């Protein structure tokens, strides 16, 4: 038997490692959650195996679908803001010297070390009436009646930005930094004024990369728990907080599982829709 054939024969053993990881950490929990979502709730024992669709039906109550809609809007808005901010930052950084680029990348990587709780707590202090921005503005006599800036939608969005900023920039950096600067010069030579250059050339050139960053952040922000809880307040709670509340606080695992399954399906549909739209656009271009 040749060495090549022997390696091919043993290939399936190597494939077992990722397959096993996938089954253990993704397929099994998902399958179990899917199963629990059709079980009956039993306050005494969490749930009883059954096949009921009541948990799914509850989603169509105004409370749940309005919160899920809010979750999508919040995640979409957050992802949009962070993607654009990240894009502008990367455009700026990629035009700096090698040394400065390295400095920025290290800084952004170090931001990734900060957990959601740490970021939320830092912002909580910054926005608090007693020690943060309001106090500073009052001291500068710019704000007569200072009050805490959280909980609020703005505080929560600030949290989203801080949380996702390094992810967006690090996702976009490789493509943007390797871009051919001559493309922008060519556009200028063909008559594009600097004001139009960004919209006509730079932005469309990175459409797919921006969409990938947006979808990644969108999915990530849908699952954010600490930001809405600590900085957003009840009026800004998203579906993740509600699922946690139903499953853990109110001991209704089947309802929590059903809501999570619906969110998963909706997210997948939205992401697929965005990718399909991008593909359609590319096909139109071609």
Judge residue 253's burial from the number of C-beta atoms within 10 Å of its C-beta, 0-12 exposed, 13-18 middle, 19 or more buried.
buried
Nearer to other proteins among residue 135 and residue 200 (C-beta): 200
For 41, list phi and psi in degrees, rounded to 5.
-75, 135
Of the residues 101, 152, 177, 188, which one makes contact with other proteins according to CB under 8 A: 188
Of the residues 79, 156, 187, 263, which one makes contact with other proteins according to CB under 8 A: 187
**210 binds other proteins per the rule CB under 8 A:** no
Nearer to other proteins among residue 105 and residue 209 (C-beta): 209
**191 binds other proteins per the rule CB under 8 A:** yes
The window from 65-73, 154-162, 190-198, 229-237 that contacts other proteins (CB under 8 A) reads: 190-198
**194 binds other proteins per the rule CB under 8 A:** yes
Of the residues 204, 269, 272, 273, which one makes contact with other proteins according to CB under 8 A: 204
Query: Taking the complex as a whole, how short is the minimal distance between the CB of residue 190 and other proteins, in angstroms?
Result: 4
Nearer to other proteins among residue 70 and residue 200 (C-beta): 200
Of the residues 3, 17, 45, 193, which one makes contact with other proteins according to CB under 8 A: 193
**199 binds other proteins per the rule CB under 8 A:** no
Q: Is the dihedral of CA 39, 238, 124, 85 positive or negative?
A: positive
Q: Please list every residue from 124 through 183 that binds other proteins, using CB under 8 A.
A: 180, 182-183
Nearer to other proteins among residue 10 and residue 207 (C-beta): 207
**192 binds other proteins per the rule CB under 8 A:** yes
Of the residues 18, 43, 62, 189, which one makes contact with other proteins according to CB under 8 A: 189
Which residues here bind other proteins, judged by CB under 8 A? 180, 182-183, 185-194, 196, 200-201, 204-205, 207, 285-286
């Amino acid at each position: 038997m040749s060495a090549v054939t022997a390696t091919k024969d043993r290939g399936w053993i190597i494939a077992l490692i990722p397959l096993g990881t996938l089954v253990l950490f993704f397929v099994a929990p998902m399958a179990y959650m899917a199963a629990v979502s059709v079980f009956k709730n039993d306050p005494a024992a969490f749930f009883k195996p059954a096949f009921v669709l009541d948990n799914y039906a509850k989603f169509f109550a105004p409370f749940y679908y309005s919160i899920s809609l809010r979750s999508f809007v919040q995640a979409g808005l957050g992802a949009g803001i962070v993607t654009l901010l990240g894009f502008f930052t990367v455009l700026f950084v990629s035009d700096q010297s090698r040394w400065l680029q390295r400095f920025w990348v290290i800084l952004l990587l170090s931001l990734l070390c900060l957990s959601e709780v740490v970021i939320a707590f830092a912002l909580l202090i910054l926005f608090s009436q007693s020690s943060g921005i309001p106090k500073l503005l009052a001291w500068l006599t710019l704000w007569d009646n200072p009050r805490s800036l959280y909980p609020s939608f703005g505080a929560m969005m600030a949290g989203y930005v801080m949380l996702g900023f390094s992810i967006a920039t690090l996702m976009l950096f490789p493509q943007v930094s390797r871009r051919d600067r001559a493309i922008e010069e060519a556009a200028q030579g063909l008559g594009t004024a600097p004001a139009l250059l960004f919209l006509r050339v730079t932005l469309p050139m990175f459409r797919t990369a921006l969409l990938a960053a947006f979808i990644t952040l969108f999915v990530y922000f849908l699952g954010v728990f600490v930001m809405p809880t600590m900085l957003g307040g009840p009026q800004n709670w998203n579906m993740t907080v509600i699922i946690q509340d139903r499953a853990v606080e109110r001991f209704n695992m089947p309802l929590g599982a059903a809501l999570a399954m619906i969110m998963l399906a909706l997210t997948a549909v939205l992401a697929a829709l965005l990718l399909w739209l991008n593909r359609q656009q590319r096909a139109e271009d071609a």
